[in-house]
Every structure is written in C-alpha cells, then in structure tokens.
Amino acid sequence: MLNLSDNQSFVFPETTEVKAYAKAKLPAWLRSVRLIMLVLLAIFLVFMFLPWTQNVRADGKVTTLRPEQRPQTIHATISGRIEHWYVMEGQAVKRGDTIVYLSEVKSDYFDPQLVDRVGNQVDAKKGSMEAYQQKAGALNDQIDAMKRELESKTNQIYRKIDQVMLKIESDSLKIVQANIDLQVARRQLDGAKNLYDKGLKPLTDVEEKRMKLQECETKLVAAKNQFDASRNDMAIYQTELRLVKNETANKVAKAQSDLYSTVGDRFDAMSSMNKLQIERENYARRSAFYYIVAPQDGYVVKAMKPGIGEIIKEGDPVVSIQPADYQLAVEMYVKPIDLPLLSAGRKVRFIFDGWPAFFFSGWPGVSTGTFGGEIIAIDRNISANGKFRVLVAPDPHEQAWPQALLPGGGAKGISLLNDVPVWYELWRMLNGFPPDFYSNASGDTKNEVSK
C-alpha cells in the first residue's frame, strides 16, 4: 500500500483492456451537442434581452384624405326620363361636362314657354303695383287738397266769426246807447208833463216828448233784436265750423281708408309678384337640371340607371364618379382596448394588398415592402362594427405610397409603440397585459395603460 517494497500487491490493468471503461467514455458527437446546446442557450439569453418594438395591428382600407376627394354618387335633382347618355363607364370627365340628359315627366312643366309666360305674369303684377302706387299718390294728393280746403273754409268762417263778434260788440253798444236815450226821453217827458201841468208848456210838446220816448223804446228793442241776431249768427258760424271740420274729417278718413286699402293691395300685388318671380326663377333653374353635369374632374365609375327612357325620381342615384385628384389615406379600425395606445401623430406601418412585403413585428427596421403613415384623426364615436375608425395619412418623411394604389384597396396597419426587451414582451403576452406606450409630449415618461 505504501510502496515500501518492490513487490507490487495490486496492478491496474490497461484501460484499453477494460470494455466497461470504453462504454462509459463520452462520445465525441455528444460533446458537440452539449457545446451546441450551450451556444444555443447563450443565444437565447442574448435574444431575450434584445429590443422588441411593441405594436397594435388593425385592418383597414385605402381611402382619401379629404371628403370631397372620395368616390361620390351624383343624384338627380328633379324627376325625369333619361333621354341620352353622353359618357361611358371608365371615361374621364372634366368639371361641367354633360353626363346625361333628362326630359320632363310632370305635366306642370310641359309648356316649353313656361318661363316666358310666368315672366309675363310678373310684368302684369308689376304694372298693377305701379297702378296702385299711382292711386295711392292720387289719394295722398286728394287728402292734401281736402286739408287745404278745410283750412280755407275754416279761415273764412273764422273771419265771419270775427265780423260777428265785432257786430255783437257794436250791437251791445247800441243797446247801451238806446238805454241812455230812453232814460233821457223819459226825463224829458216827465219834465214836459210837469211844465204842462203848470201851464208852461203846450200839449204838443208833451206829445212830442212822448213820441220821442216811444221812438227810443223802439230803438232799444231793435238794438236788442239786432244783438240777439248777431249772437245767433255767431252760433250759426260756430256750428258751420264744426260741420265743415266734421265733414272734411270724414272725407279725409274715407280717403285715408282708400289709401290704406290701396297700399294693402299694392303689398298683395308685390307679394304675388315676388311669388311669381320665385316660380319663374325655379322654372328657369329646373330647366338647367335637365342636364346632369360632372361636379369635378374625375372618372365615371358606374351608371346606376343605364336604360334609355327609364324614369328616375328626385334624389335617385344616377352615376358614380371617382375624383381625378385626390390624396390617399387609410382608414383602419382598432379595438376599443387598443384605442388609448393611439394618438394623433403616431407612426404606422402599412402592408397594402398587391404589394409584397416582409414584416417583422418586433424589428420594423429589418422589414421590407412596408410604407409609413401618420395618424391624423381618431373618431370620437364607435363605428357600427364595434371598433373605432382611425384615419392615417402618408408620412411625408418616408417613401411615397405606390402611384397605382387606388381607393378601396385593402391595407394592414401596424401602429408602432415603444421598445421593450423580448423577455418583457413574452411575459406581457403570457399574462394578457396590454402594451406599454410613451406619451408624445414627453418621450422619456412611461404611461401606464388603464385597465
């Protein structure tokens, strides 16, 4: 055991002579597999820490950026019968080009001179308005004449009244004078009687004084009568003044009534004329609607009512047109759970139907055949399909979209979010968590999606 002597108590056999040892030895290919597994494990660990770009996928279709650039259907403004087509499907048209001609189907518009006849009615109503205007002017002149006549008559009566007032004053003075004369005659008669009784005066003087007294009494009565007559004249003139004013007021009121009636008739004629003018303008414009023209430059896509002689109603579609000038965009529909991840200005990658592409969702930088876009609008209301519509325009900083791309084509959109490690993305997907995203206002601030 201690190798103190030269005698060997135990001798190890050669390993080449032991079969079990040979069987327990690892083969060379197994060592290679182990090495390969270690390398693969290292690659996998490295792969787990590679950056992965999160994204939101959504299907959509190609459309136009502005509403007036999208395919539109031209409708018939009036009812009519198709008489002649001037275009064929697929033909390019310019704005104002005639597409189809319609003929009238309503009996109210069959008269070819309908506009001229209504114009004649308008002229007649205009003449009636002028006649009413002249009549109103004549009534105004008549009212002014009656007012002037009233002023003249009243001035004349006022002058008479002034004269009567002067006469009344004169008559009153005559009455005073007659009273004085009567008193003097009475004193003279009394004096004459006294002298006659004394025998100093003859009887003839007494009789003369008595006659003078009677004459004074007669003058007093005449003066009173004249005064009463003057007062009666005053009352008559005042009554005449009231009658003239009342009569003239009645005449003026009647003339004003006729004036207002004439003005009302003029307004009725004006209303009728305006109505006829509206009808004439409507008839004139209706005749222009017999020709359906192209509203803008474009291409005829489809004729909705192709038959000659076919009757169409107001608002019926006649032909569909695709505008010639348009800016492409994509409307894609995203799920409500993905809506908080999107915002205006976020970048989107597209794969269009008919254009081959290879897209790696985690590494968009190594993808090929995709086209860039930028979100410009997000609908505020949910669509009928239960998703929200997002409008995406071409990214001006990237490759232009294909020229042959037409509205209506299919598109698959991938909205790019933030970069995360691969292991985090796998962990998120296994737990069913939504993707993370960064706010546009602060790119270094991580926002958490509301659950």
- CATH number of the domain where residue 309 is located: 2.40.50.100
- Summarize pLDDT for 153-210 with one digit per residue, the tens: 889 988 888 888 888 888 888 888 888 888 888 888 788 788 777 777 777 777 887 8
- Does residue 389 sit in the same domain as residue 311? no
- Structural Rg of the chain based on CA atoms: 61
Dihedral sign from CA coordinates of 335, 339, 344, 345: negative
Instruction: Give the range of the structural domain holding residue 63, as residue numbers without chain letter.
Output: 52-69+326-447
- Does residue 237 sit in the same domain as residue 98? no
- Does residue 125 sit in the same domain as residue 175? yes
The pLDDT > 70 percentage for the chain reads 82
Distance CA 448, CA 451 (A): 9
Predicted confidence at residue 246, as pLDDT, reads 92
pLDDT band at residue 376, thresholds of 50, 70 and 90?
very high
Predicted confidence at residue 100, as pLDDT, reads 92
pLDDT band at residue 446, thresholds of 50, 70 and 90?
very low
- Summarize pLDDT for 329-364 with one digit per residue, the tens: 999 998 888 787 788 888 888 888 877 765 555 555
Distance CA 219, CA 199 (A): 31
Q: Does residue 46 lie within any of the structural domains? A: no
Average pLDDT over residues 26-35: 68
Tokens of 332: 């894609």
Least confident piece of the model among 20-24, 65-69, 282-286: 20-24
Average pLDDT over residues 97-108: 88
Predicted confidence at residue 391, as pLDDT, reads 92
Cβ contact 287:78 at 8 Å: no
Cβ contact 363:342 at 8 Å: no
Cβ contact 103:81 at 8 Å: yes
Which helix (H) or strand (E) covers residue 244, if one does?
helix 203-288
What is the domain count for the chain?
A: 3
pTM over 0.75: no
CATH number of the domain bearing residue 416: 2.40.30.170
- Does residue 168 sit in the same domain as residue 308? no
Predicted confidence at residue 19, as pLDDT, reads 61
**What residues contact 414, with CB distance under 8 A and at least 6 apart?**
55, 56, 57, 348, 349, 350, 351, 359, 361, 364, 370
Q: Does residue 240 lie within any of the structural domains? A: yes
Predicted confidence at residue 230, as pLDDT, reads 85
- Does residue 180 sit in the same domain as residue 255? yes
- Does residue 330 sit in the same domain as residue 346? yes
Q: Does residue 58 lie within any of the structural domains? A: yes
Predicted confidence at residue 418, as pLDDT, reads 66
- Summarize pLDDT for 238-295 with one digit per residue, the tens: 898 899 889 989 988 998 899 899 888 888 988 888 998 888 888 888 888 889 999 8
Q: What is the mean pLDDT of the chain?
A: 81
- Does residue 143 sit in the same domain as residue 128? yes
Average pLDDT over residues 354-382: 73
- Does residue 124 sit in the same domain as residue 257? yes
Predicted confidence at residue 56, as pLDDT, reads 75
- Summarize pLDDT for 209-237 with one digit per residue, the tens: 788 888 888 888 888 888 888 889 888 88
Show which of 305, 323, 341 is a domain's final residue.
323
pLDDT score of 451 more than 50: no
Tokens of 176: 């005073």
Q: Does residue 334 lie within any of the structural domains? A: yes
- Does residue 192 sit in the same domain as residue 252? yes
pLDDT band at residue 94, thresholds of 50, 70 and 90?
very high
- Does residue 281 sit in the same domain as residue 136? yes
- Does residue 243 sit in the same domain as residue 136? yes
Q: Does residue 265 lie within any of the structural domains? A: yes
Predicted confidence at residue 7, as pLDDT, reads 54
Tokens of 405: 């791309």
pLDDT band at residue 443, thresholds of 50, 70 and 90?
very low
pLDDT band at residue 440, thresholds of 50, 70 and 90?
very low
- Does residue 150 sit in the same domain as residue 207? yes
Distance CA 428, CA 424 (A): 6
